[in-house]
Amino acid sequence: MEFTAQQIAELLNGKVEGDKNAIVNTFSKIEEGKAGSLCFLANPKYTNYIYETEASVVLVNNDFEAQKPIKASLIRVEDAYKSIAILLDIYNQMTDKPKGIEKQSFIHKSAVIGKNIYVGAFAYIAKDVKIGNNVLIYPGVYIGNNVTIGDNCVFHPGVKIYHNTKIGNNCIIHSGSVIGADGFGFAPNNGEEFVKIAQIGNVIIEDNVELGALVTVDRATMGSTIIRKGVKLDNQNHIAHNVEIGENTVIAAQSGLAGTSKIGKNCMFGGQVGIGPHITIANGTKLSAQSGVPNNVLKEDSILMGAPAFDIRAYHRAYVHFKNLDDIVKRLENLEKKLKEK
């Protein structure tokens, strides 16, 4: 489909500078922009491309100031990054979605299925499952006994959802993720083999949660492992038994949260962060990539770095000395030699 710059500006409450009738029919990165495409500039590192791009329309922030002539029409908006997300979502909703129940799938007779759902080939829906409206279940998905799923959810190929899991509305789970596998519970047995502790809890995922590919969320030993509304987890995250993640927290790839840790709301974790067992993390905490947290973080809006993690400003100061450690040691050795010569 084609849209003019003016039509797009009206969708975004933006203002056009240049040709209001410039037509776009696709998206592009600003460094790869071609005629007929729309791109955006949000990161200042890419500013030089706006003077070279062949894109027909570019979204920019209201405070952008051009230093050279620009061929493209500009649409000024409050937040270019947020605006491109809105447009991409509109575009995604316009694409054709699969419909109906494919023959090779299995749905237990006791399952309750909502309206306008899709169930792909080789999907398996077990007994007493309840599924809401407008749900997409792609091929190879397994949904175990007594699972409850809300409206407008998407389960990509190969997702496995164990029994008794509860999932809210508008959730997206990407390929290969496993929800509700046993927590890692084993009791020592006087030097003999470890004794498995039965994991009889479940997983609760609230509304508007998105889990990337190959995410694992373990069921609770007792009670529930809880992912609160608005949480976004990147690929290959591991959430252990009885963890609770607060609202609107985002966690980048390959992070691990050990059992019974409690993560506050509005937190941001970089990639490969590790949280120890029974740890409490305060609201608004930010953890730099590869941080390790063995103790509670009780101060809200803390920014931490390192393993073990501590205040990022103190870490940066300490790291200056670490980089100079070899030189410092040599200076100390020289001083010791001079003292011995006296």
Relative to beta strand 23-24, strand 3-4 is antiparallel
Residue 127 · residue 121 · CB < 8 Å: no
How many whole angstroms separate alpha carbon 17 and alpha carbon 220? Answer: 55
Q: What is the dihedral of CA 14, 20, 25, 27, to 10 degrees?
A: -40
Which residues have C-beta within 8 Å of that of residue 115, sequence separation ≥ 6?
A: 133, 134
DSSP 296-317: -B-STT-EEETTTTEEHHHHHH
**How far does CA 309 lie from the centroid of its chain?**
22
Only one residue has tokens 């409050």, namely 78
Work out the angle between the directed axes of helices 80-94 and 5-12 (0-180°, nearest 10).
110
Q: Which residues are catalytic?
A: 241
b/e 120-151 (16+ beta carbons within 10 angstroms → b): bebbbbbeebebbebbbbbbbbbbbbbbbbbb
User: What type of residue is 87?
Assistant: L
In DSSP terms, 59 is beta-bridged to: 40, 75
